[in-house]
Amino acid sequence: MTENIHTLDTRGLSCPLPILKTKKAISALASGEVLEIKATDPGSVKDLDSFCQQTGNQMIASESIEDGFFFRIRKA
């Protein structure tokens, strides 16, 4: 693995906490670093997409997993 992967678990949290926690976690990263997020809030799928569009960060993976949703975002 060449890059440092950061993780964030927002399972069990409802809107808007997954977004707020993602924003906080992303702020701490350097440009180009990747954040992996787990969530159970079904709204987070569209909300994190919108978050990336607004903030210029790049959504590189958004998928359903066994216990919720999984996202990978690269910091702009």
Nearer Cβ to another protein, position 51 or 69?
51
Q: According to the 3-state scheme, what is the secondary structure of the chain?
A: CCCCEEEEEECCCCCCHHHHHHHHHHHCCCCCCEEEEEECCCCHHHHHHHHHHHHCCEEEEEEEECCEEEEEEECC
Q: Is 15 a catalytic residue?
A: yes
The catalytic residue among 5, 15, 20, 60 is 15
Q: Closer to another protein by CB, 2 or 49: give it.
A: 49
The residues of the shown chain that bind another protein, judged by CB under 8 A, are: 12-17, 19-20, 22-23, 40-41, 50-51, 54-55
Positions annotated as catalytic residues are: 15
